[in-house]
Amino acid sequence: MINFDSQEIPAEYLSAVVKTARDVGTDLTQFLRLNHLTQKELENPDVKIRGNLFKKAIALTHKRYTGAKPLSLLLAERFSLTSHGLLGLTLICAPDLRAALMLVEEYGFLLIPSIAIEIHERREISALRFVPKVELGDMAETLIEMVMGAFYSGKLMLETSAPLKISLTHMPAAALLFYEEFWGCKVLVNQKYNQIFFQSQLLARPLHTSNPENFNRLCKQLDEQFAQATANLQFTLKVRQILNVTSD
């Protein structure tokens, strides 16, 4: 399985960690300097960073953090839909929650290639499932909690409603009370999947930010970005194949 450390993610995500670190009394300026990154680059939606830098920044923040609330949830609160670039803007303009979630399921890998987000729709109760696609390493629990929390706190889902329940595959290190306060519902641990459960009827609920004209235009741009990402991936795989043959 591919390791998260080698995956590329938006530099804007690291910016969220830097701001959270500052809030809890940790200055990551030297860390950024040592890795030749500027604040301007962190705010550029076209800049990508390696997953290992993201994890190191979180680890440094966690090492110096003395608060009781899980750092993963503090990080989650830093994200908004606009943190996700073109995909985030498209989600904001979607006609309803179902259309938005279908986009997340199809194009989410452009932002978070390491974690797939799947819709499991049922008649009364549906779920969003967060499935690791690569080896997340020693920070797997923090990353899963952060992604799930960021998706919820982005206010795309359940704009006026709390989830029905949350399931986690692990037992969090912090007290469950923090998680239940954050989500506003019961949190089940040591489950088979990481999931957010909600009423299926919410899928047809129009988003108050819906803009059909912009939605169609942005979807076309997403298709173009998808085609480019696919071409880049195929090129990378071809190069690796050639290198492997040469090394043999």
Domain 4-204 fold is H-NOX domain (3.90.1520)
Residue 17, pLDDT score: 93
Residue 237, pLDDT score: 45
| Low pLDDT (below 50) residues in the chain | 235-237, 239-240
Angle at 49 between CA 46 and CA 54, to 5 degrees: 130
Residue 246, pLDDT score: 53
Residue 55, pLDDT score: 92
Residue 240, pLDDT score: 46
